[in-house]
Structure 1
């Protein structure tokens, strides 16, 4: 389930800061996991067609980048295996923002993109070679604003098997899949907090062991997955 071209890279450009070393405050094992029947393809489609009343839990990070806000989209690609998975990427180390981090395929909206979904599909094809014809878009989750001033629309899509990936080596170090059931179980959602220069930052992490390698899912990606959990659990 993985397509790896590099070793684990640093997860933050901040000096003396590694999110993997920040203590876990707690997990949310007291919350129920999303049941398997709600993770079936048609149940997911029905949930987006008739969404419940719910509220996202995480929508904005404390801003730490001095740059103009930019509209962006990511694809939350749910691969239709016997047990559904989510396709994620590990970004290359040299990128200016979120380098080395686990992320959804996605990026900045272009003027030629008609919709956020068009951005997500284009970026997924450019980054990992996922052809749009393999993706059935279900809908979007609430906008998530990152600390680097990206205003992100997460677009959820079902990905039919049989696709092949071609990673863009300038942006993506590796691609891998994580079981959707693992990500939709809050017992695997770890809470962290870190204070520096009088500013407290809080985030979730959802580390996944991909063979012998830990994929440290945290920050914006984990925040959007947490919102997806709230949406499906509502």
Structure 2
């Protein structure tokens, strides 16, 4: 396992949870996502999926593999690995889990999400293994994520804006972009970028994001 990932995991665990993402005292569905880092042909990378536009929640959004914690799961780590296998075909036997991050709350879907950071010790072939849920799977190089030319602030019609990444034909925003931005920064992998570069959320993306059923 590379030293940079060890440092990233240690520092990311100490990152502060934004007030608006702190879980409520009660309620919410337990969920988990897998932040799977590996070493690809273009250097360090992270596994992302493009969710299906036919989905009920977070339709069409780039995301980490993941989903709800089922009753038979031992916890968020097992759930994240199971979901990643179901969605991308990744072999859990080749994945080394480093740590979990503090639980984050997504109000739109009422999910209490635990991010799981892992190292892809033995990479396996991946694809959109669950077509009803996933349109595509990408190993996105860290170098492309931290390239200042690929970074913007994305503004919602409400006026709120958050970090976003333009990579591999995807616009990564919302929860996934916030977690990536925080983890890469805490791990010392980010590069200075112009956070005054603001773009409005595309209307089609807004329509998908507002879908609840």
**Please, which runs of 5 or more residues in structure 1 have no aligned partner?**
1-39, 63-67
The alpha carbon displacement at 1:140 in A equals 1.9
Q: Deviations over 1:196-229 (max 9, x none)?
A: 4xxx433221011x2xxx2111111101101212
1:88 aligns with 2:43: no
Instruction: Provide TM-score, normalisation by structure 1.
Output: 0.68
8 A Cα contact 2:163 2:178, kept in partner: yes
1:165 aligns with 2:165: no
Q: CA 1:216–1:51 in structure 2 vs 1: closer, same or farther (change >3 Å)? A: closer
Q: CA 1:96–1:113 in structure 2 vs 1: closer, same or farther (change >3 Å)? A: same
Instruction: Provide TM-score, normalisation by structure 2.
Output: 0.74
Q: CA 1:131–1:53 in structure 2 vs 1: closer, same or farther (change >3 Å)? A: closer
**Please, which runs of 5 or more residues in structure 2 have no aligned partner?**
190-213
The alpha carbon displacement at 1:51 in A equals 4.0
Q: Which residue of 2 aligns with 1:140?
A: 100
The alpha carbon displacement at 1:115 in A equals 2.2
RMSD: 2.6
Q: CA 1:56–1:230 in structure 2 vs 1: closer, same or farther (change >3 Å)? A: farther
The alpha carbon displacement at 1:57 in A equals 6.4
Q: Which residue of 1 aligns with 2:34?
A: 75
8 A Cα contact 1:137 1:155, kept in partner: yes
Counterpart selection for 1:203 from 162, 171, 182: 162
